[in-house]
Amino acid sequence: MNFIKNNLANAITLGNLLSGCIGAIHLISGDYQTTAVCIVVSLVLDFFDGFTARALKANSNLGTQLDSLADMVSFGLVPGLTMFKMLEPFGTDLFGITLPFEIQYFGLLITLFSCLRLAIFNLDEDQKYYFKGLNTPSNTILIFGLFYAFKENQSFEFLLNNEFALIILTVISSWLLISPIKMIAMKFKSMKLQDNYPKIALLVGSVIILVIFKTVGIPMVILYYILISIIFQKQLK
């Protein structure tokens, strides 16, 4: 019984990793809809592995390392591959200049910075009630959300048909992952209303955006998240 208790959270984490692997495989083959389902599954499992570990008092160093390794695939490799796919149509041509390599590989910069972000997070003991920089799941939702909305109804066409805009997005996304900007974390230090204004503003605003814009609102929620986090910087501590 103790074996199950001590390893249930780790099993959930491995489920996150498996879902991320499946999502990456389908993304490469062009099946973005299955990848979307896998990302959702990984997000759910990523939440419940930590929740389960705390509920069962089974937190461990092994679980911490497994969590980051799983996230590296689900929320590090997958967004990098997503940008890889978005840059794929441009081949070796960049602003009329023929490059000695295909421009799509530049998208993997997101994967590299996701790895760096996860390593920094593991060593940083300050990020208990906030994130320093954009967390990898949110970054994945932003990047894949843009791709998904474009594939579903041609939304954000102005962005995905412009290689310069995609490169800038890649650089900004990579920087946000390791930026010093404090981001809201849905962890409650107290139940006082005034201590939770940022979280309330985030939840209410996100729901409104999704209700109004639906699929198109998915990446917009992350932009709103970044904006609200910047507005409430002084309260995040």
| Each residue's pLDDT tens digit, 178-223 | 999 999 987 766 667 666 888 999 999 999 999 999 999 999 999 9
Query: Which amino acid does the sequence have at 224?
Result: Y
Give the span between the Cα atoms of 77 and 194, in whole angstroms.
38
CA–CA distances in Å: residue 206 to residues 142, 188, 226: 13, 18, 12
Q: Tell whether the torsion through CA atoms of 228, 140, 120 and 20 is positive or negative.
A: positive
Continuous segment of H or E residues that includes residue 191: none
CATH of 2-125+132-180, one of 1.10.1060.10, 1.20.120.1760, 1.10.3720.10, 3.40.1410.10: 1.20.120.1760
**Cβ proximity of 210 and 218 under 8 Å:** yes
**Cβ proximity of 236 and 184 under 8 Å:** yes
- Summary mean pLDDT of the chain: 90
How buried is 161 (Cβ within 10 angstroms: 0-12 exposed, 13-18 middle, 19+ buried)? middle
pLDDT digits 0-9 by tens, 122-134: 888 777 778 999 9
User: 124-132 long-range contacts, Cβ below 8 Å, gap at least 24?
Assistant: 127/185, 128/187, 129/185, 129/187, 129/189, 129/236, 129/237, 130/182, 130/183, 130/184, 130/185, 130/236, 130/237, 131/182, 131/183, 131/184, 131/185, 132/179, 132/180, 132/181, 132/182, 132/183
Share of the chain above pLDDT 70, in %: 91
pTM assigned to the model: 0.92
What are the phi and psi torsion angles at 36 (to 5°)? -60, -45
pLDDT digits 0-9 by tens, 31-89: 999 999 999 999 999 998 877 877 777 677 887 889 999 999 999 999 999 999 999 99
